[in-house]
Structure 1
Amino acid sequence: MGWRKWGAATLLVVGGVVGVALWGGFQGALAATNTSEFCISCHEMKDTVYADYIKTPHFKNASGVRAECADCHVPRELGPKLMRKLMAANDLYHHLLGTIDTPEKFEARRPVLTERVWSYMKATDSRECRHCHSYEAMDFHKQTERGREKMQESQKKGETCIECHQGVAHSLPKRDD
């Protein structure tokens, strides 16, 4: 009965304002967790994979275009982005649990973490890579002869980026094989 006092229009406006505020907060949280600063706020990332990344052309190159953490690891579409964020919660869990809290522990777990990322990228046809790189946009004549042959062969086979370009932004994990 109390809602009748306010009127349906007032409740609708208040509901709309609250909805917009919640959506804005949600979008703000997504944007904040997509920054490289957020990603490297855990020393496990800053002292390992970030240290690798800053030595690669994805960080510094002649064109001045930089791929940030989210560019390679977070989809742009909302549904896949939310799924990826849920998957990343596993990293936070292990950070809080202490299973990757030292360089030695991180390196010991790195092959498992790396395989998980590579499997994800293969399953999504390297979707995040393809936001910047596509066969259609490549000028094969500006590539080395070997590079051109490999890229054209991969294109014909329908291969995905991660099948050949493992370790392109981070060093490959040490294996005990």
Structure 2
Amino acid sequence: MRQFIKKILHHWKLVLGGLVALFVFAVSFGISGAYVLAHTSTEEFCVSCHEMSYNFAEYKGTIHDSNRTGVRAICTDCHVPHEPGPLVWAKIKATKDLYYTYISPSIDTPEKFEAKRAHMAQNIWREMKANDSHTCRSCHRDDKMDPNLQSERAKLRHARAKLEGKTCIECHFAIAHKEPEGPGPAELFSNAATRP
């Protein structure tokens, strides 16, 4: 062991140079990774793919696009986690979109997209149910909602949903996109609960 330490001390310039190079590489990798994550989380990036252009059109004019407060949600606010680890994992999983877009185009036309709309929506609803509508709660926090600004009906429904352990997506869906044909989240989750 002493010999090894003596060799390292003897070549301290080489070791120091290696450590500096490693540090520069790590910082560069971190900065470029952060840039890629930030760029791929912009609205412009999301709508740059052909299959999203007509899907984006139905979002325009919705409450998440324009509203009285001026607070605007973009694609990644609802579809991507905001924490670093889950964000990176979501980006890795999203690479499958490249396959379905360019290699085996299955949603590259409005007709193909419509044929798969229900399936895709139900996958998102299941994911949101499983994570307690986490991305919704990034903006809509219970502790920041003023019940006095809610209608009596909304207050009652929110209280009942809380008692029943429901999450946002079970009632609030098809807000930024057209509602697909078939069962909505309430039917989807009630059927799942009654399966053996």
CA offsets 1:154-176 (integer angstroms, 9 cap, x no match):
12222111011111111112349
CA offsets 1:42-90 (integer angstroms, 9 cap, x no match):
1211112x11211211110111111111111111112211221233222
1:107–1:174 CA contact under 8 A, matched in 2: no
Give the aligned partner of residue 98 of structure 2: 92
Q: Which runs of 4+ in 1 moved over 4 A?
A: none
Please list every run of 5 or more consecutive structure 1 residues that lacks an aligned counterpart in the other structure.
none
1:58–1:67 CA contact under 8 A, matched in 2: yes
Task: Give the number of aligned pairs.
Answer: 173
What is the Cα deviation at residue 145 of structure 1?
A: 1.6
Q: What does 1:159-170 correspond to in 2, within 5 Å? A: 159-170=166-177
Give the aligned partner of residue 55 of structure 1: 61
Q: 1:73 aligns with which of 76, 79, 86?
A: 79
Q: 1:130 aligns with which of 129, 137, 141?
A: 137
Which residue type is aligned with residue 64 of structure 2?
Answer: H
Tell me how far apart the structure 1 counterparts of residues 32 and 157 of structure 2 sit (CA, whole Å): 45
Please list every run of 5 or more consecutive structure 2 residues that lacks an aligned counterpart in the other structure.
1-6, 184-196
Name the Cα RMSD after superposition. Answer: 1.8
Q: What does 1:9-88 correspond to in 2, within 5 Å? A: 9-48=16-55, 50-88=56-94
What is the Cα deviation at residue 39 of structure 1?
A: 0.7
Counting aligned pairs with the same residue, the percent is 43
Calculate the TM-score normalised by the size of structure 1: 0.91
Calculate the TM-score normalised by the size of structure 2: 0.82
Asked which structure has the greater RCO (Cα within 8 Å, sep 6+), the reply is: 1
What is the Cα deviation at residue 27 of structure 1?
A: 1.1
What is the Cα deviation at residue 6 of structure 1?
A: 4.6
Which residue type is aligned with residue 167 of structure 1?
Answer: A
